Structure 1
Amino acid sequence: MSPHALSFDRHRHARDVPPVLDRYRPLRLLAVVVVSVAAGAAALVTLVGVRADVGPVEARLSLGLSFEGGTAVDVPPVGRLTMGTHAGPLQLRADVRNVDVEAVTAMIRRGRPLPTVETMSADVRSGVLGLAGRSVLVVLPAAALVSALVFRDRRAVLLGTGAAAGALVLSAGVAAATFSSEALEEPQYEGLLAQAPALVGGVRGAATAVDAYSARLAELTGNVAQLYGALGSLPDVPGPDTTAVLWVSDVHNNPAAYGVMRELIDQFGIQAVVDTGDSTDLGSAAENVVLDRIEDLGVPYLWVRGNHDSATTQNYLSGLSNVTVLDGGDVVEVAGVRWAGVGDPRYTPVKRVAEPSEVGRLELRAAGRRLATALDQQGRRPHVVLVHERPMAEPLFGQVPLVLDGHVHERRERRVDGTLELTLGSSGGAGLRTFDGGDGALPLAMSILHLDPSDGSLVAVDEVTLAGIGRDAVTFQRRSASSLAPEPE
């Protein structure tokens, strides 16, 4: 071999990556990307945050990582509000740090309004833009620094910084592409029941334009300010533009349920209560003492018989001053809304929750057909129909806009032939029977229906869920009528 060939061979091997290392090059590149993106994510979560003064409220805006994405507003010690505004992995978080209580209290006492939504929206937009700029200034240097420390290679630093920048741009792009202003109208609240209406706000308060994001956060900020400034007194919500009706079902002798009803009536300006049955367990006269609490609610109470309620139960309730029993097809108008209903044809007090047999379904459908026939004969259509079991609703599909029922102790929904059917869980947590080892403890489930007073149509539903026996912790989910059980194609 010539000296020139030997010299060339040595030069070539000095420049090239050895074959054994070249085999692991893809893994090294992957390691650089993973380490740099992880470093950038850690810096984003721990170091990025801006102070935003929104009117009288001082908040800290930050970004977190969440598969669900969306927006979360923490208001200690009241609770937390979340909205599914966009897909993950980025979640915008707003933590209320301080409220100028003295200034807000002075405004309320003197009848002065808080700063306008437009003004506070500008504050929120400024804070969000500042948060985006700071994210870039923190994430990219963090990724570069960690890549340099771990791999000690200039090319690794460049690759890692680029990967972090790409991940940041991609995450922001996903948030922008999946943004839904309609989600601003459907907040979910977790916290103290007494403060829920103040934070959630009005049913029709959210805008639908692109600027709705900052406007909604500004509106929530105003609600927080009023909540703190009024020192416990709640602002008027959800407003005079809808009729609020409380819907309960399957109380099953739980006296605590009526206490929760009373709180919701007071706080949300409830104009009526509708009950889709199973107020008792056995339908005995001895259980009527629990039903006396209905008169104390102080609002009209519409009721249909469930399969655990007897004729004795129905006769007793019909004698209470504020109760209207719906059975037989008569259409009544309460709170400006037309209602109709029919009682459960089956009386099975010892039966646990179960889907009815085919014979039972035929009996239930027959009751629904009798109601549909009675409504046809009257020629006066109700806005809402109450039944107890789901098969009873089927003959009414295409005939009425909304049917409410219960029985199965869980929330369900479906839309058939233009009729929306909603099923409620147990408003009594399945009642006192949960202590005998039967159904097990269930959350207390109630719903607030917001109806348009002009035509009785459903505008929104507030799904209220209280965990077990306690009444302090509550999950409060608002859903617009359009998002409930879309019509199948």
Structure 2
Amino acid sequence: MLVRSRWGRRVLTAVALVAVTATGITVGTLLAARGSSDVGPFRVAFQLTPSTDGGTEIAIPPLGSLFLDSHDGPLRLTARLDSLDQHRTEALLDDPTGLAQAGDAAPRDLRDAVVRLGLRTLGVSVLASMLLAGLTFRSVGRVAWSGGLALLVTGGTLGAAALTVRPQALAEPRYEGLLVNAPALIGDAQRIADDYTRYAEQLQRLVGNVGKLYTTVSTLPIYEAAPGTTRILHVSDLHLNPAAWPVIRTVVEQYDIDLVIDTGDITDWGSEPETSYVSMIGQLAVPYVYIRGNHDSPRTAAAVASQANAVVLNDSATTIAGVTIAGIGDPRFTPDKQEVETRPWEEPTATVEGTGGQLARTIRSLDVPVDIALVHDPASAPGLNGTVPLVLAGHTHQRAVTTLPPTGAVGTRLAVQGSTGGAGLRGLEGDEPTPLAMSVLYLGANRRLQAYDDIRVGGTGTAQVSLNRKVVDAALVDAAAPSATPAAR
């Protein structure tokens, strides 16, 4: 019994020591894991908080927030731009070498601030744990044990986060805020795709972008396009939602879009009254390339084709802004999601899976290489594998980007769009409205996909947006680039 009692006391003492140390670490983190420092022209407030997935949030009020997959857990870094030195910012923008100097200094400023924050958190956590242990146990040995344990836990946590740092995360931010601010704050994808591993330059551009927005908040700067970049807005499955058009028009204007691609289901029933909905296409100041979805009828396609800026593809190809696009409509007409209805204009022998192969044969018969192929249902995409570098689709109302199994000389990427119309009336059936989804595709001078921005507009109105940037794997980008620019068709 004496032995058991002795071991019981030791276990209780150990549990109490761990509890006191955990409390000390918590108190130390609350007191010390925050601070402020100058980064470029900004006064930035930093904070460390426990997190299972890590990452960094850069809050830029009132412009929005950037979320970076900068490191793994167990800590999350939040950097909030509290204030801006107006004179330093104006000097930075007026001086031709100002941004370059900011690019050199900002990474060092940020690193030093985070290191100081980590060391202060470590020191205060250890001290708080030892003080609590001294008050609780009044034993030098247990105070030492508590301090050592706090040093091990806090230091290990900071070290685990530091060892998984990914500087290139600045190239692929997720943005939440106002749609009007997104392109200017995020920056140019072409430049990011060209040198995304160069951390200092990305931080320099971020500082410059934010500085410009702050100093010209009433008149936002024009989004500057990188030479040779083609910007394509991919939309799909609008399903008669009138809220989609203002968002599309805003993105076209803010992102300097060269053309819009619509992979079908612009209507619900393909009826005559619905044809007035597509008249909004004519108000966009850019070309609009469309293929028919399974909710669209030939009447719908004819209404789209009647718009001056629209091109309807059906087992055919066109070249716009130097990009050759081939597309084919969905072989089905199922507006009520039941069995295929018999129509005199339908091809009963056509299948969704066979449609991709049919378009692939058409592409191979052309005398110019095709850069993008359009199908409505992603089930048609395998038939195009190895024929084109990029296939765009819709239909599923779920955004997904995958690489098809390698075949032939051309690697093929499949990009399935979510519903730009928020699934129409179906999007209201759940507890939350389905977000409006669309993507900006950035094609380089070789007409290969360099990067893309996935945009989701939530139920709070067309101003609030979530944007995720993804830089494409350069190995596939550079594969099988065409040797000549195709002529217009």
TM-score of the two chains, using structure 2 as the length reference:
0.86
Note if contact 2:122-2:155 (Cα within 8 Å) is conserved in structure 1.
no
Note if contact 2:24-2:126 (Cα within 8 Å) is conserved in structure 1.
no
| Deviates most, 307-316 or 112-121 | 112-121
What per-residue deviation string (whole Å, max 9, x for no partner) do you get for residues 141-183 of structure 1?
1221222233333222212211221122222332233222332
TM-score of the two chains, using structure 1 as the length reference:
0.86
Note if contact 1:449-1:458 (Cα within 8 Å) is conserved in structure 2.
yes
Aligned in 2, Cα 1:340/1:439: closer, same or farther, shift over 3 Å? farther
CA distance in 2: counterparts of 1:151 and 1:300, whole angstroms: 76
CA shift, 1:396, in A, is 0.6
CA distance in 2: counterparts of 1:133 and 1:353, whole angstroms: 66
Aligned in 2, Cα 1:400/1:38: closer, same or farther, shift over 3 Å? farther
Matched, 1:451 2:438: no
Note if contact 1:403-1:420 (Cα within 8 Å) is conserved in structure 2.
yes
Note if contact 2:275-2:299 (Cα within 8 Å) is conserved in structure 1.
no
Amino acid at match of 1:349: P
Aligned in 2, Cα 1:455/1:208: closer, same or farther, shift over 3 Å? closer
Give 1:288's aligned residue: 275
CA distance in 1: counterparts of 2:374 and 2:223, whole angstroms: 26
Aligned in 2, Cα 1:388/1:27: closer, same or farther, shift over 3 Å? farther
Matched, 1:374 2:362: yes
CA distance in 2: counterparts of 1:408 and 1:195, whole angstroms: 30
Amino acid at match of 1:399: T
For 2:267, what is the secondary structure of its paired residue? coil
For 2:326, what is the secondary structure of its paired residue? strand
Amino acid at match of 2:335: P
Note if contact 2:232-2:259 (Cα within 8 Å) is conserved in structure 1.
yes
What per-residue deviation string (whole Å, max 9, x for no partner) do you get for residues 426-464 of structure 1?
0010123445x4997311001111111x21111111010
Note if contact 2:32-2:117 (Cα within 8 Å) is conserved in structure 1.
no
CA distance in 2: counterparts of 1:156 and 1:106, whole angstroms: 56
Note if contact 1:33-1:159 (Cα within 8 Å) is conserved in structure 2.
no
Aligned in 2, Cα 1:126/1:73: closer, same or farther, shift over 3 Å? same
Q: Could you tell me which of 222, 227, 230 is aligned with 1:243? A: 230
Give 2:485's aligned residue: none
CA shift, 1:196, in A, is 1.4
Matched, 1:70 2:55: yes
Aligned in 2, Cα 1:398/1:279: closer, same or farther, shift over 3 Å? same
Aligned in 2, Cα 1:34/1:270: closer, same or farther, shift over 3 Å? farther
Note if contact 1:353-1:408 (Cα within 8 Å) is conserved in structure 2.
no
Give 1:32's aligned residue: 17
Amino acid at match of 1:199: L
CA distance in 1: counterparts of 2:380 and 2:474, whole angstroms: 24
Note if contact 2:331-2:350 (Cα within 8 Å) is conserved in structure 1.
no
Matched, 1:480 2:465: no
Give 1:383's aligned residue: 371
Give 1:428's aligned residue: 421
Question: Quick one: percent identity of the two aligned structures?
Answer: 36
Give 1:397's aligned residue: 385
CA shift, 1:374, in A, is 0.8
Note if contact 1:415-1:485 (Cα within 8 Å) is conserved in structure 2.
no
CA distance in 2: counterparts of 1:484 and 1:470, whole angstroms: 39
Q: Could you tell me which of 125, 148, 172 is aligned with 1:186? A: 172
Aligned in 2, Cα 1:184/1:110: closer, same or farther, shift over 3 Å? closer
Give 2:214's aligned residue: 228
Note if contact 1:249-1:406 (Cα within 8 Å) is conserved in structure 2.
yes
What per-residue deviation string (whole Å, max 9, x for no partner) do you get for residues 99-144 of structure 1?
1245535765898955531133332233223223322332211221
Aligned in 2, Cα 1:23/1:135: closer, same or farther, shift over 3 Å? same
Matched, 1:155 2:141: yes
Note if contact 1:52-1:59 (Cα within 8 Å) is conserved in structure 2.
yes
Q: Could you tell me which of 261, 286, 292 is aligned with 1:274? A: 261
Give 1:407's aligned residue: 395
Note if contact 1:411-1:425 (Cα within 8 Å) is conserved in structure 2.
yes
Q: How does 1:141-220 map to 2 (within 5 A)?
A: 141-203=127-189, 204-205=191-192, 212=199, 216-220=202-206
Note if contact 1:199-1:224 (Cα within 8 Å) is conserved in structure 2.
yes
Matched, 1:302 2:289: yes
Amino acid at match of 2:435: P
RMSD (Å), alpha carbons: 3.0
Number of aligned pairs?
A: 461
Gaps of 5+ in 2: 341-347, 478-489
CA shift, 1:215, in A, is 5.5
What per-residue deviation string (whole Å, max 9, x for no partner) do you get for residues 312-335 of structure 1?
0111111111111111132x2222
Amino acid at match of 2:237: D
CA shift, 1:352, in A, is 7.7
Note if contact 2:326-2:373 (Cα within 8 Å) is conserved in structure 1.
yes
Amino acid at match of 2:276: V
Give 1:11's aligned residue: none
Gaps of 5+ in 1: 1-16, 355-359
Note if contact 1:250-1:278 (Cα within 8 Å) is conserved in structure 2.
yes
| Deviates most, 311-320 or 147-156 | 147-156
- Between structure 1 and structure 2, the one with the greater Rg is 1
